[in-house]
Amino acid sequence: MAVGLFAIIGLTGMNVYSLYALHDNTVENSVEKQKRQLFEYTDQVRSRFRYPLNELWNLDMQDIRDSFTAPSEVSAELIGAIRTAGDDPLFSDIYLALPENNNSRETGEPVWRFNSTSGRFEDTREYNRHVRDGLAMAQTRMNAHINDYRWSTRIIFDSHFSMTIALVDSEYREIVGYLVFLIDREYLVDKFMAPKLVDMFGTGEEEGIIVWLHHWTNDEVLATTDPEVPYQYRQVDVIQNFPDLLNDWNLKASFTTNPDIAASRTTLTRNLLVLGGAVILLFAAMIVIFFTAQRERALAQRQTLFLANVTHELQTPLSVILAAGENLSDGRITNTERLKSYGKYIYRESIRLRTMIDRLLDVAKSNTDDLRIEKKPVQLAEFARKLLDEKQSYLESYQVELHFDADEDLPDIFMDPHDLQSIFNNLIDNAIKYSPGEKYLGIRIRKNKNHIDLVIEDHGMGISRQSQKYIFDKFFRVENALTAQTKGHGLGLTIVKDIISRNQGTIRVASTPKKGTTFTVSFPVMESREHTASDKINRSQLQTSEHVT
């Protein structure tokens, strides 16, 4: 039993651990998936800036350099690449500055502005500080890295204001020029980044994630997937920066319960409930097995005691009969009174022996499926009066105070008279046997709707409430001082219950210790008086049911 309990506890613990590990793995995978989506979003924004400039990457910078003598002489290849970028709504203006003009932030020297209408660069001194800041930043960085740089272009962002592309002659380690693209912030945020944010992450907490596009230097939320949830830094679970661009912007995300996690949590709860139910059933099964084993053990002990008692009680009357018969057969007894006394001994012990054998036969019959009973109409009150008349001398020998009462005009019941006699004999014998003082026997027969109730009452020792549920079990006897001195085998009430069940009746017991016991047997009223002939019924076709309260 203990090994089974430890096995159940161990297996339950392992299953619970596995369920939680599976749930945690699902949550972790879901979070990692959302983190990858954040990085993918920033990568797509980066690609959005590079896409309009694809033609620039393939230009020969030496040819471009030779054409930088005047705005009107810029090579057609560069103009074509610039025209493609100029048609993109991401950029509001495009400027070109030569290396000697990259100090224009201080001197105010002219740069070349791209005219999208004419498709040409034009001299201008009218440009805003974002152009100057972009050129200054690009100049500083390229002066620091030009000797080690191996590529023909390099992109430098001035936060979200401008994107400057340094055109590099990698063979001679010289700067060819700078292209400054002013970024249209309204288009970038409202037309591209905000819609893509919603496309990738959905809207609302039910998606499992809330994302804010945050301008961290100004503490300004530029876009969000759920406007209903205000941005609070303590809610942020992860921060994703944009690689090499938009330095003042980043993505801040707060993880909520997404459908995958919610489904995993529901599955976890359901599995835990099922596991809990299975564990409860296992414990219940073990408890049932334990108590069943205890009952089987107690039954085996009672059977052993029964066999010992039966053997002893069979030997006693046989010994008396044997001794009396031997004395009579030897002719030693000649006195008439002694002969009569010996005859009474033999008769009484024979009756006692027959009663025990009948009890054993009744038990044997109750355990066979081939029992055949002969049912016939019986008037219960008349049957009871006749039986009590036959037992009058027996009752007087025990000085029983008898009270009998029956309703008038009772309908018949339909059952085997031999079975009915067994019920009376067992219940009457118990009432007398377990009444140590006053021997009172009350028998009442009443009509109760479609049943006839037989009530047998005594004022004996009574039965405790705990024992009442076991009194109909085979070999069970109430353990007390009186029963220890009273002969019995624990079979009488078992036989009574079996007989009543196979006759579609019920039996109830009500008892108070030291005050007495009342048995109420209910028989169904015979449905028709036409059943006057014997009706043989195979017990294997009867539906035996437990109706004991």
Same domain, 95 and 179: yes
Sheet holding 516-524, edge to edge: 401-406, 440-448, 451-458, 516-524, 506-512
Report how far residue 439's alpha carbon sits from residue 409's, in angstroms, rounded to the nearest whole number. Answer: 30
Reading the block at residue 252, the tokens are 């801040």
Same domain, 79 and 173: yes
pLDDT of residue 312: 54
- Among 124, 157, 183, the domain-final residue is 183
pLDDT of residue 543: 35
pLDDT of residue 453: 93
| CATH number of the domain where residue 527 is located | 3.30.565.10
Report how far residue 281's alpha carbon sits from residue 303's, in angstroms, rounded to the nearest whole number. Answer: 32
Find tokens 């297996």 and name the residue. 11
Give DSSP secondary structure letters for 1-20.
-HHHHHHHHHHHHHHHHHHH
Structural domain contains residue 460: yes
- Whether the CB-CB separation of 179 and 163 falls below 8 Å is answered with no
- Whether the CB-CB separation of 116 and 87 falls below 8 Å is answered with yes
- Whether the CB-CB separation of 59 and 78 falls below 8 Å is answered with yes
Same domain, 481 and 342: no
Sign of the dihedral defined by the CA atoms of residues 338, 340, 343, 349, in that order? negative
Structural domain contains residue 384: yes
Same domain, 278 and 346: yes
Same domain, 343 and 374: no
Structural domain contains residue 249: no
Structural domain contains residue 202: no
Same domain, 310 and 386: no
Same domain, 383 and 520: yes
Residues near 380 by Cβ (< 8 Å), separated by ≥ 6?
406, 410, 412, 413, 420, 445, 452, 454, 523
Structural domain contains residue 527: yes
| CATH number of the domain where residue 317 is located | 1.10.287.130
Same domain, 333 and 401: no
Give DSSP secondary structure letters for 193-255.
IHHHHHHHH-SSGGGSEEEEEEETTTTEEEEES-TTS---GGG--EEEEPTTS-TTEEEEEEE
Same domain, 90 and 109: yes
| CATH number of the domain where residue 126 is located | 3.30.450
Of residues 313, 211, 316, 197, the one with CA closest to residue 258: 211
The whole model's pTM is what? 0.47
- Which residues are bridge partners to 240 per DSSP? 251
How many folded domains does the chain comprise? 3
pLDDT in tens, the chain (549 residues): 667 667 777 777 787 777 667 766 766 777 788 888 889 999 999 988 888 888 888 787 777 777 676 766 778 888 888 888 888 899 999 998 887 654 444 445 678 889 888 888 888 888 888 888 888 888 888 888 888 888 888 888 888 888 999 888 877 788 888 999 999 999 999 999 999 999 988 887 667 788 999 999 889 999 998 888 889 888 888 899 998 888 889 999 888 766 666 666 677 787 778 878 888 888 788 788 888 888 788 767 766 765 665 565 566 677 777 777 777 777 777 777 777 777 877 877 787 677 667 666 666 665 555 556 678 899 999 999 998 998 888 888 888 999 999 998 889 999 888 888 888 888 888 888 888 888 899 999 999 888 999 999 999 888 888 888 888 877 676 665 445 455 555 667 887 888 888 888 899 999 988 889 999 999 999 875 444 444 444 443 333 333 322
Report how far residue 206's alpha carbon sits from residue 204's, in angstroms, rounded to the nearest whole number. Answer: 5
Same domain, 86 and 108: yes
Structural domain contains residue 259: no
- Among 183, 205, 224, the domain-final residue is 183
- Whether the CB-CB separation of 163 and 194 falls below 8 Å is answered with no
Structural domain contains residue 221: no
Same domain, 419 and 343: no
- Among 183, 207, 236, the domain-final residue is 183
Same domain, 526 and 389: yes
Residues near 316 by Cβ (< 8 Å), separated by ≥ 6?
349
Structural domain boundaries enclosing 345: 273-367
pLDDT of residue 277: 82
Question: Residues 400-404: contacts with CB within 8 Å, 24+ apart?
Answer: 400/432, 400/439, 400/440, 400/441, 401/438, 401/439, 401/440, 401/441, 402/441, 402/442, 402/443, 403/440, 403/441, 403/442, 403/443, 404/442, 404/443, 404/444
Structural domain contains residue 492: yes
